[in-house]
Amino acid sequence: MTEFDELLNEPERAKKNRSELKIGDRIKSYDFGPMKHSYIVGIVRKIAPVEFCGDKCDHIHLEAEYGITEGHPRRDLTGRMYYPHLGNYIDIISE
């Protein structure tokens, strides 16, 4: 995530993320804005709508590895699925 990403509104971030993300990418998803201390790391399995949000609202289908919550130790989330909105703040990582 760049400083520029923090200036984008959610629809702009969704468009940018759609153009950059690929199935199989490993990402950090920051669910609560550009907080550097709370995120989920996992693998993008697909980008598609989810039942609970409607058929026009794409989400990242993220198979989690672990989560970091500010002030708490790393949580093992291996294999759990999360569905962050495509407009969330994300980083594509290679670690």
pLDDT for residue 84: 92
Provide the token pair at 65. Answer: 């590895």
* Residues 6+ positions from 82 with CB-CB distance below 8 Å: 29, 40, 42, 62, 64
User: Phi-psi category of 33—alpha, beta or left, where left has phi over 0 and alpha has psi -120 to 50?
Assistant: left
pLDDT for residue 73: 82
pLDDT for residue 38: 86
C-alpha separations of 85 from 39, 42, 71 in Å: 13, 14, 24
Domain count, the chain: 1
Provide the token pair at 24. Answer: 């199989």
pLDDT for residue 62: 96
pLDDT for residue 53: 84
Q: Which domain holds residue 50?
A: 4-93
Contact 86, 59 (CB under 8 A): yes
pLDDT for residue 70: 79
Four-residue CA torsion sign, 39, 42, 47, 48: negative
CATH number at residue 14: 2.30.30
Query: pTM value?
Result: 0.83
What does the pLDDT profile of the chain (95 residues) look like in tens digits?
555 556 788 889 999 999 999 999 999 998 655 556 789 999 999 999 998 887 888 999 999 999 988 778 888 999 999 999 998 889 999 75
